Chains A and B, each alone.
Chain A
Amino acid sequence: MNGYGGSILRVNLSTGTITREPTSLELARDFIGGRGFGIYFLTKEVPVHADPLGPENKLIISNGPLSGMLAPGGGKCDWTCKSPLTGGYADASMGGHFTAEMKYAGLDSIILEGQSSKPVYLFIENAKAELRDASSLWGKGAIDTEVELKQMHGEPYQVAAIGPGGENQVLYACINHDYGRQAGRGGVGAVMGSKKLKAIVLHGTNSVPVADPEAYRKAGMALYKACKAADNLADWTRYGTTIVVSWCDEVGALPTRNFSAGSFEGGKTLYGPVMREQIVITDKGCFGCPCPCGKYSNMKRYGTRVEGPEYETIGMLGSDVGLSDIQDVAQANLLCDDLGIDSISAGGCISWAMEAYEKGVLTKEDTDGLDLRFGNVEAVFTAIKKIAAREGKLGALLSEGSKRAAIKVGKGTQDYAIQIKGMEQSAYAIHNATAMLISYMTCDVGAHHNRAWAITYDLQVGRDKVVPEKVARVIWLQHFRPMFDVLGGCRLQWVELGIDRDLYVPLLEAITGIKRTWEDLEKTGERIWNLTRLYWMREIDGFGRSWDQPSPRFYTEAPISGATAGQITRLEDVQKLLDMYYEQRGWDAEGHPTSSTLEKLDLLEFAI
């Protein structure tokens, strides 16, 4: 099957049965790959109201037609499951070299189902696949696990592993790969841990067939040429995502002390150039990427190395918890990676607890004696370790995510749990950025930025404006950007280098033999967007408008300092944005797709 590995690997952890089935042509045609395959299998195969950490939930790993090919950024795969953190749809995109290796092993998806009674790892080498004992690896950090498995099998074997956080089913546990790439959000690592699957080891040596070899080579080379000709390639590569730290600080988007402000007085020492100069030792790219955003760093003070920190981690484990030293932030990043918890959610939970502690709602009795003030480095490190181990009162509380923790603690702390749908908000403060606000509110995994990011657009249009154009822009981005997660590629070549997205059209056609314009792709994006919405409705009774609300902080408490001091979005504008959004999407006032919308999108068979 041109552009595809050609088969789906199904691994039942309960019975140890492993089967391979051919990837269906219809599936490839209608859902393309990646998160398209993910939502399809999740909807079709996981029973309604399945326990996310029970044997019925499935973890679906999918690549796409760009993965492993001569295509800039063809190094992303998508991990889909029912989220233990939110109870709804989750997918996490992971870079590195795993996705390409999957395709060379002939795989388009790996579906993990059931639950093993003892720790195992999945070993895949081309047509061979087996579960092997992982008792000796259980309890080890994700990085040590990768080192050991590579020593055992060889450097070219790709490894994805969970750390203790995943084993202990911390609700936002992640999966680690290539010493610093993660499937981070939504608790995919907890699902893997619940299946007692410590790691996947993967090696493939097959060539990938394409529909039109000559056109493929030409289109692939043209894309690389465009990336290399981009006049911002050098700047982007030098700093990666940290290029925005100083700018976010300047415009009030840098989350500071649990999002109470958008500028951080200690921010300057977290800026990209400072980091590059002080700790970065090499650029570290995902498969096939001409503009590597990954930076590998050496923290001399700690005698450690880490991939990162990238922007989100600098925001969430830097300014948002009040840390201003890049080496401290990088060390906190390393702890999260190795222990296997999402650094965004970890930062969100710790900063929530810090605010509650400073307000006197949490005391040392609740924090196991920890002086949980903003800016206390040791407290951040200790909290991360406690969360991953679910240790003590603090670990038990924070390992469940900030939404559950705030419900448990009460006393007004829910008002400053910065989350939507139960997922901690990623690192953009939105006190006065209405397009970004509606983007977060409607993102289909919870408060995550990767579906639509619109802060620059907010500044261009007028940040407090509440106009249909902003909503339309966000909807367009929600179809277009995640399309890269469907194609098994990375959006940053288009997003940051600004290369012409039409260059992908001939490439995709030459690889798969199926002609698709961006209009067609966006249509598929819209179908997937409506399917993930239906999944939330299916899993959560009463799911609707109330689940799309932002943290009250952004409409009740204007920052007292920084670029957005005194600025806030009014609650009526928040609701107005949502009304516009539902209307433009063809959803009713509760945010449910109407039957005519489903009919238009040919999704009636999935209607709830």
Chain B
Amino acid sequence: MVNGEQEYYPYPLFITHSFFSTMPVILRPVGHLKSYLKDQAELVVPAGRSIRETLRAAGIPPEVVALVVVNDVHQTDKEMVLQDGDVVRIMAVIGGG
């Protein structure tokens, strides 16, 4: 953003706000973990729960998930509470080196 210039906002504020406030969390397993979701590539889940609770609710044992990436940032604490709009990528380690 150039100094002093307002960022262009395409929608009235109240629309974007309500849109975001109901935006759920997207859970996206990669690699071997996909087998837990049968044919779905991703799962849409409610926000406001920890990573651990979210995984459990999705039928994925939290302890088998080795890598959690929330909005492209690696998270090592599964107690972190997920927020509206978070995109969560999860991966398990099957081979272990």
* Contact surface of A with B, Cβ cutoff 8 Å: 230-232, 235-236, 239, 241, 243-244, 246-247, 250-251, 268, 271-273, 310-312, 428, 449-450, 453-457, 459-460, 481, 491-492, 494-498
Contacts and interface: CB of A to CB of B under 8 A. Distances in A.
Contact of B91 (A235, A311, A454): A235
A492 B95 CA distance: 7
A459 B97 contact: no
A247 B93 contact: yes
Interface of B: 30-32, 61, 63-67, 69, 74, 76, 78, 89, 91-97
B64 A456 contact: yes
A29 B94 CA distance: 31
9 contacts: A230-B31, A235-B69, A235-B89, A243-B91, A312-B97, A450-B97, A459-B63, A460-B61, A495-B96
Contacts of B96: 244, 428, 449, 453-456, 495
Given A250-B78, A268-B76, A459-B61, 11 more contacts: A235-B69, A239-B67, A244-B66, A272-B74, A459-B64, A481-B95, A492-B97, A494-B95, A495-B94, A496-B93, A498-B94
A599 B50 CA distance: 56
Contacts of B78: 250
A271 B94 contact: no
A468 B63 CA distance: 23
Contacts of B61: 459-460
A247 B78 CA distance: 10
A497 B74 contact: no
Contact of A235 (B32, B67, B94, B97): B67
Contacts of B95: 453, 481, 491-492, 494-496
B97 A247 contact: no
A250 B92 CA distance: 13
Given A235-B30, A272-B74, A273-B76, A456 B67 contact: no
Which 9 A-B pairs rank lowest in CB-CB distance, beginning with the nearest?
A495-B95, A453-B96, A247-B66, A232-B31, A246-B76, A231-B30, A232-B30, A273-B74, A498-B31
A251 B76 CA distance: 12
B97 A453 contact: yes
Q: Which of B65, B67, B95 gathers most chain A CB within 10 Å?
A: B95
Nearest to A499: B31
A459 B61 CA distance: 8
A428 B32 CA distance: 21
A569 B64 CA distance: 20
A94 B69 CA distance: 31
Contact of A244 (B30, B89, B97): B97
Contacts of A272: 74
Contacts of A268: 76
Contacts of A454: 96
A244 B64 contact: no
A311 B97 CA distance: 8
Contacts of B94: 456-457, 495-496, 498
A241 B97 contact: yes
A247 B66 CA distance: 5
A250 B63 contact: yes
Nearest to A452: B96
A544 B69 CA distance: 46
A271 B67 CA distance: 11
A232 B63 contact: no
Contacts of B92: 456
A200 B78 CA distance: 48
Nearest to B74: A273
A251 B67 CA distance: 13
Nearest to B92: A456
A444 B34 CA distance: 33
B31 A247 contact: no
B3 to A, nearest CB: 30
Q: Which of A231, A241, A312 gathers most chain B CB within 10 Å?
A: A231
Contacts of B65: 247
A247 B61 CA distance: 13
B64 A243 contact: no
Contacts of A449: 96-97
Contacts of B30: 230-232, 235
Contacts of A491: 95
